[in-house]
Chain A
Amino acid sequence: MTDKIDNEIVPLHALIEGKESRAVLADMQLKPENLPKIFSTDPQAVKLGAKPGDVIKIKRRDYGNAYEIYRLVVEEQ
């Protein structure tokens, strides 16, 4: 079976440190809850061992355009 997490079409996820995430949020003038969300039960979050409140950086490549987005880890409801 193919690996659903390490597949090449799945963008790279990375957990970022509190310091970096604060810098990112300040840069975008955001509160953490303004970020898009990701469930802590998401396979990527599970793999990274992310806890609710952490911020995950996702490197995406759409239309040949590389960019980064950030998601706040939240508990699944």
Chain B
Amino acid sequence: MQAEAINYIRFGIISPEGIKKMSVAKLTVPDTYNEDGYPIDGGLLDQRLGVIDPGLVCKTCGARAKTCPGHFGHIELVRPVIHSEFSKVLYAILRSTCFECHRILLDPKQVQALTDSADSEAHEQGEEAQRSNGRRAQVKGSKRCPYCKAAQPKLKFSQPTYFNIGDRRLKPDEIRDIVSKISREDLALLGVDLGISDPSWLVLSSLLVPPVNVRPSITLESGERSEDDLTHKLVDIMRINQRLEQNINAGAPQIIIDDLWELLQYHVTAYFNNETSGIPPARHRSGRALKTLAQRLKGKEGRFRYNLSGKRVNYSARTVISVDPYVDINEVGVPFAIAEKLTVPFYVTHWNIDKAREYLKSASYPTVINIIAQDGKRRRVIEGNREELAKEVAPGHILERQLIDGDIVLFNRQPTLHRISIMAHRVKVLPGRTFRINYCTTSPYNADFDGDEMNLHVPQTLEAQAEARLLMDVQFQIFSPRDGGAIIANSEDGIMGMFALTRDGTYVSKDEATYLLGIAGIYGLPEHSKNGMYLGKDIFSMLLPKGINLEAKTAYGAIKIKNGKLIEGAITREAYGKGNLLFERIVSDYGFDRLREFIFASSKLADAYATLSGVTVGVKEYAIDEELEQKRMKIIRDTFAKVSEFIEQYKTKKLEPFIGYTLRESLERIIIAELNIARNNAGDTLVKHAGAGNSAVEMARSGSRGNVLNLEQMSMFLGQQATLSGGRIKRGYYTNRVLPHIPPNDIAPVSRGFITTSFYSGMHPIELFMHAVGSRGSEVYKALLTGRSGYLYRRLSNALQDYYVRKDLSVRDVNNNIIQTIYGGDAVNPLMSRFEKKASE
């Protein structure tokens, strides 16, 4: 998009003459419709203000509803009122000028200093600054006018629109008289943009009435009319205005006139902003506060954020998502009910006209909903004109065809935090009422199936479809742009199944082998078998690309794939996707399509094998026997002994402090390090002791779920509970202890949040408290962090949104300004960084 430079926008205040010029009608009747249901002339729905009822003709422009843009009218206020949104400006001006001679309360020297600095600024900033040289003179507390020497009365301003000198209230007309006597020079000094604004215009003697299009009335089913909130408020204003006029003409006492005047001021204030501080909000009969002008614009549901920054789109659908492991990872299952309503343009050409006829003639799905002729006229295809249209259709026509299998669509889950929150999927029309996705694609969307809903959009041009296919297709998003690691991959059961199948000693029968491979979509059997049994590794190898080679070391052991066969090692999460070993090799040697096929096939195979063999975890996996219990106790005892030794050294000043730390800080660091060692020690001991055959350990080792730390905390002991700052828990009582059950100043492990029991054994009350301190801390932190980082990211992405990397690898904005001469300083595309490819590839 080419950005057109806007030189400047100038905001001003409408003048009374401006209002008269804009207005097409002076409104005098504080009512809307007469008994016959026709708009009253001179009323708030006067037909000169435009029409919204079908059939009526606008008396100003002669157009009918929908084509008439609406026209402004005005109300003449019998007594002027102050514009409440500008009362602070008026106050500033009144306070800065003399009440006698109306000159600015600055002596010539101060004025000179002010103009000088303004001039030099204007000189430096060029023309732009000169135009709106809005420099408001700072006048504070002058008691006496420097020109006429008159003493200045104390002016008191109270929200929203009241000005008092002593006990006397300044009426709006008085204020207008005062401010209109200020000279142009002084006004300029006060920051008034003369020509398009003037302080006397802030006192309103006529009020602009927006066209009826802005405040349409609704006809209820009962035939009753319900007016817009703005109309209600305008009726109020006109009613009081009329009463005020009658009272003035009848020569009513001044108090009554003043009361009505104040009431008029209130209604006008509420009309502009019903949430003005200092006034009670005007209410509907039901008690609901009226939505007046400011409320229409303001906030999340206001005109700006709701209607201008955010818009509703066509060709989209939204429903609940659910899983289907048999939907490919770049597919999305679309409910039939949605597929038959959404349409894709079918551009009729010389070469596909037969297909176009076929779609047109079809009375049932998939068929054509609309046909768009060359002149852009859209016609609905119905039973009656189907045959006729099929005859007439010609190259250049566009058919709006129902969604069918293979159409490309964009799929999105909010919050759309990164680019992979929107990916392109291929449609697969399915029965049911939910979108179906493969569970491997849940992580980029951060979706689960507990009721999540997602949005689907159908690209409407061939260019958009091609872009979606080439850039946004799921298989191109397998690797994260953050660090190049795989984010679309099999997980949990899928990893477990694959691990169990490929680990040494797994054999399956011929029946099982055909079943597993059949589910994975492969028809055939491995070449080698032993007594009619097939090796698990060989089954898995059937999914690998032919001729692939890989040798790598994982935490679980070496893995060796030779000529398309897994020879050694088991497929763990590390070997598979998240560690990138296998994925990386497949994508660099065989491409993204092959990788997608592999992920899909392996996820089906793994699920099938996990189902077939069964994987069980129970509480018994976390129970520890007598021998391990002894080891656990020994670790704790040894650690505590070591820690008290350090504490003893500290007390006798024998401890050597770390550079840059006090002795006390050094001791703390040593203790924390020692307790960490104890925890790691316990983890290692547990894994060694429980070893193979313990499904919990196997789960952790294969990477399907859980890690050694989790196991250790469940079986051995919880270890040190930390605060957010990373230190041990120490706050509580002023005697320097966390709880009254702890000796004052005690810094032993148990007194500072070290927990010696496990989730399995249960915690002691003090330990439970320490655990709760840690949990509460991290919970609060999490809540604060998500909000903050979310907003930070929003500002960042808005600031960066239309930068792009040009072919010469420079980063530019829409006006061709260079943002970075070379992308990232090294032109490396993080997505491809493991392959050392440049951003252009």
Contacts and interface: CB of A to CB of B under 8 A. Distances in A.
Interface of A: 28-31, 33-36, 60, 62-63, 65, 67-70, 77
Contacts of A60: 825
Given A36-B821, A67-B821, A77-B124, A29 B816 contact: yes
Nearest to B816: A34
Contact of A65 (B124, B815, B818, B825): B825
A34 B362 CA distance: 57
A65 B816 CA distance: 25
Contacts of A33: 817
A65 B838 CA distance: 12
A63 B836 CA distance: 13
A70 B821 contact: yes
Contacts of A35: 818
A31 B816 contact: yes
- Best-surrounded residue of B125, B810, B812, B821 (most CB of chain A within 10 A): B821
A25 B226 CA distance: 65
A34 B815 contact: yes
A30 B816 contact: yes
B822 interface: yes
Contacts of B822: 65, 67, 69
A31 B825 CA distance: 22
A63 B828 CA distance: 11
A63 B821 CA distance: 15
B721 to A, nearest CB: 40
Nearest to B822: A67
B817 A62 contact: no
17 contacts: A28-B810, A29-B816, A30-B816, A30-B818, A31-B816, A34-B812, A34-B815, A35-B818, A36-B818, A62-B825, A63-B825, A65-B825, A65-B826, A67-B822, A69-B821, A69-B822, A70-B821
The binding surface of chain A is classed by DSSP as mixed
B808 interface: yes
B826 A62 contact: yes
Range class of the B interface residue count = 10 to 19
B483 to A, nearest CB: 16
Contacts of A36: 818, 821
Contacts of A30: 816, 818
Contacts of B815: 34
A66 B124 CA distance: 38
Contacts of A77: 124-125
Interface string B803-825: 00000101010011110011001
The binding surface of chain B is classed by DSSP as loop
B803 to A, nearest CB: 13
A44 B227 CA distance: 69
- Best-surrounded residue of A28, A62, A63 (most CB of chain B within 10 A): A28
Nearest to A58: B821
Contact of A28 (B124, B125, B808, B827): B808
Contact of A63 (B810, B816, B817, B826): B826
Given A28-B810, A34-B818, 15 more contacts: A28-B818, A30-B816, A30-B818, A31-B816, A33-B817, A34-B815, A60-B825, A62-B825, A62-B826, A65-B825, A67-B821, A67-B822, A67-B825, A68-B821, A69-B821
Contacts of A65: 822, 825-827
Contacts of A29: 816
B808 A34 contact: no
A29 B807 CA distance: 11
A55 to B, nearest CB: 12
A30 B821 CA distance: 12
- CB-based closest 5 A-B pairs: A69-B821, A62-B825, A65-B826, A34-B817, A63-B826
B823 to A, nearest CB: 11
Contacts of B124: 77
A68 B808 CA distance: 13
A73 to B, nearest CB: 15
Interface string B124-155: 11000000000000000000000000000000
A74 to B, nearest CB: 13
A34 B808 CA distance: 15
A31 B817 CA distance: 9
Contacts of B810: 28
Contacts of A63: 825-826
Contacts of A62: 825-826
A38 B826 CA distance: 22
Interface string B91-124: 0000000000000000000000000000000001
A62 B815 CA distance: 27
Nearest to B821: A69
B818 to A, nearest CB: 6
Interface in B671-691: none
B297 to A, nearest CB: 34
A13 to B, nearest CB: 14
A63 to B, nearest CB: 5
A62 B825 CA distance: 6
A27 to B, nearest CB: 8
A35 B825 CA distance: 16
B444 to A, nearest CB: 28
A47 B298 CA distance: 53
A16 B246 CA distance: 82
A36 B822 CA distance: 12
A17 B818 CA distance: 20
Contacts of B825: 60, 62-63, 65, 67
Contacts of B812: 34
Contacts of B826: 62-63, 65
Contacts of B817: 33-34
A32 B825 CA distance: 21
B735 to A, nearest CB: 52
Nearest to A72: B818
Nearest to A68: B821
Interface in B784-841: 808, 810, 812, 815-818, 821-822, 825-827
A34 B812 CA distance: 9
A67 B827 CA distance: 10
A69 B821 CA distance: 6
Contacts of B821: 36, 67-70
A36 B816 CA distance: 11
A62 to B, nearest CB: 4
Nearest to B813: A34
B815 to A, nearest CB: 7
B125 to A, nearest CB: 8
Contacts of A31: 816
A62 B810 CA distance: 15
Nearest to B808: A28
- Best-surrounded residue of B812, B816, B817, B818 (most CB of chain A within 10 A): B818
A35 B810 CA distance: 11
A77 B123 CA distance: 11
Contacts of B808: 28
Contacts of A34: 812, 815-818
Nearest to B817: A34
Contacts of A70: 821
A53 to B, nearest CB: 16
A50 B822 CA distance: 24
Interface in B39-69: none
A70 B825 CA distance: 13
A50 B442 CA distance: 56
A70 B821 CA distance: 8
A16 to B, nearest CB: 14
Nearest to A62: B825
A65 B810 CA distance: 15
Nearest to A77: B124
A68 B812 CA distance: 16
B414 to A, nearest CB: 35
Nearest to A69: B821
A19 B812 CA distance: 24
